[in-house]
């Protein structure tokens, strides 16, 4: 069956998993804007695969939703920042015309604190010029990389983005498509696409690995590649389709900020399926299990990782962010306090020695 064109209405049905993805993006940007804007008067937002302005039944696309979020946060926190430049990249002429028309009619797109440009080429082609501008200004940036496939997001480009100061990414890794592509790995064109995606021929080991379900093996290999390029945190969030009942992609938050990683993970958990780190409509999701831990397992997880060590509370969270499943920051606080009551850790309060709370800078001593 031939691939659908990018502007086919069948590609623009507003699915529940898309709504969850947009919720995660908007909630995180809602925190990112005032935090970064407090110290930087100008910020940059880049959507590498902007698509249409609206879906087939009129639902707003991510560019309109993001602009609304930016304006709302700048209204709530005046001057933090003073201005946000939005870059919307869309290679398909039909989708681009739709997006431009919707932006023209969208009141918040004309707010004096918002500037936007619609770029007419591919993500790879247009990102270079955008990155030159970011390097020149040093402004913090957030990249949303949300393709329909996986053939225009080379690891070499992501490496360049990671080299920008104070830059984060939210990447849609289409593991279901990649899994199918691996079956054609002897085709030279497919082999080149996979090598470009992973940044090396490391993908060839996926065909022989048997330790993990293929979706998890793909995302782990991809995240390992990002970390080799300097990413401190790569938190992957599995996304399920509401009708075919299996994981179709992972949202991967890429950042060097422990605060950013903590906030994003909390937003992912709030948006996801209760009791799981991921989104699905039923349990289990197809044949691939989500990352799922009972909260009673968190004390053991922390002791195993940190026994005999003393760390700041923020380091305790950061050290288990991408392996701990559906644990929020509030869960960590409760568990560390319970461990202290049980005599398994000591809390050395730095900010308020006489207090009973648990600040990020407080020291947690895991006893032998």
Pick the CATH number of 9-271 from 2.60.40, 2.20.25, 3.40.50, 2.40.50: 3.40.50
How many whole angstroms separate alpha carbon 240 and alpha carbon 285?
7
pLDDT, tens only, 148-168: 999 899 999 999 999 999 999
If DSSP codes are grouped into helix, strand and coil, which group holds residue 237?
strand
Instruction: Read off the pTM.
Output: 0.92
Percentage above 90 pLDDT, the chain:
78
Confidence band, pLDDT 50/70/90 cuts, at residue 65: very high
DSSP helix/strand/coil, 339: helix
Confidence band, pLDDT 50/70/90 cuts, at residue 291 = very low
Residue with the larger pLDDT of the pair 92 and 322: 92
The reported pLDDT for the residue numbered 367 is 95
Q: Would you state the structure tokens that stand for residue 176, as one six-digit string?
A: 């279901």
* Range in 115-119, 319-323, 330-334, 362-366 the model is least confident about: 319-323
Asked if residues 16 and 23 have their Cβ atoms less than 8 Å apart, the reply is no
* Average pLDDT over every residue of 70-81: 96
What pLDDT is stored for residue 231 in this prediction?
96
CA-wise closest residue to 38 among 76, 85, 87, 86: 76
What's the topology of domain 295-366?
Answer: Arc Repressor Mutant, subunit A (1.10.10)
Domain ranges in the chain with CATH number 3.40.50: 9-271
**pLDDT (mean) for 201-205:** 94
Maximum average pLDDT range among 83-92, 207-216, 349-358: 83-92
Question: Residues near 227 by Cβ (< 8 Å), separated by ≥ 6?
Answer: 234
**Of 3 and 295, more confident:** 3
d(CA 340, CA 104): 57
The lowest-confidence range among 4-13, 52-61, 182-191 is 4-13
Task: Give the residue range(s) of CATH 1.10.10.10 domains in the chain.
Answer: 295-366
Q: What's residue 62's pLDDT?
A: 98
Which one-letter DSSP state was computed for residue 126?
Answer: H
| Count of C-beta atoms within a 10 Å radius of residue 36 | 22
Please give the share of the chain, as a percent, with pLDDT higher than 70.
Answer: 95
Which tens digit of pLDDT belongs to each residue from 256-275? 999 999 999 999 988 887 76
- Residue 292 is predicted with a pLDDT of 45
How far apart CA 188 and CA 206 sit, in angstroms, is 17
Residues 326, 267: Cα–Cα separation, whole Å: 11
């Amino acid at each position: 069956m031939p691939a659908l064109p990018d502007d086919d209405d069948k590609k623009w049905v507003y699915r529940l998993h898309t709504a969850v993805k947009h919720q995660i993006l908007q909630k995180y940007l809602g925190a990112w804007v005032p935090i970064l804007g407090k110290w930087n008067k100008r910020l940059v937002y880049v959507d590498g695969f902007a698509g249409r302005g609206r879906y087939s039944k009129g639902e707003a696309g991510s560019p309109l939703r993001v602009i609304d979020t930016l304006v709302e946060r700048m209204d709530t926190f005046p001057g933090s920042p003073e201005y946000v430049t939005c870059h919307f990249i869309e290679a398909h002429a039909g989708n681009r015309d739709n997006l431009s028309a919707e932006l023209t009619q969208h009141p918040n797109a004309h707010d004096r604190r918002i500037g936007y440009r619609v770029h007419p080429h591919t993500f790879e082609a247009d990102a270079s010029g955008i990155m030159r501008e970011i390097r020149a200004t040093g402004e913090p940036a957030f990249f949303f990389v949300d393709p329909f496939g996986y053939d225009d997001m080379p690891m070499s480009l992501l490496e360049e983005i990671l080299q920008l100061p104070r830059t984060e990414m939210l990447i849609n890794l289409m593991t279901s498509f990649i899994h199918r592509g691996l079956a054609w790995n002897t085709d030279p064109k497919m082999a080149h696409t996979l090598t470009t995606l992973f940044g090396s021929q490391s993908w060839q080991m996926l065909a022989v690995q048997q330790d993990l379900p293929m979706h998890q093996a793909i995302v782990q290999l991809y995240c390992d590649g990002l970390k080799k390029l300097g990413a401190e945190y790569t938190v992957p969030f599995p996304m399920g389709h509401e009708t075919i009942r299996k994981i179709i992609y992972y949202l991967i938050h890429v950042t060097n900020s422990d605060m950013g990683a903590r906030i994003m993970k909390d937003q992912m958990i709030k948006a996801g399926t209760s009791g799981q780190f991921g989104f699905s409509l039923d349990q289990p999701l197809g044949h691939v299990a989500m990352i799922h831990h009972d909260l009673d397992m968190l004390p053991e997880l922390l002791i195993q990782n940190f026994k005999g060590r003393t760390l700041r509370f923020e380091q305790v969270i950061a050290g288990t962010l991408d392996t701990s499943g559906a644990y929020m920051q509030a869960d960590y606080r409760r568990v560390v306090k319970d461990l202290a009551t049980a005599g398994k850790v000591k809390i050395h309060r730095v900010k308020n020695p006489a207090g009973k709370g648990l600040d990020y800078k407080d020291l947690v001593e895991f006893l032998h």
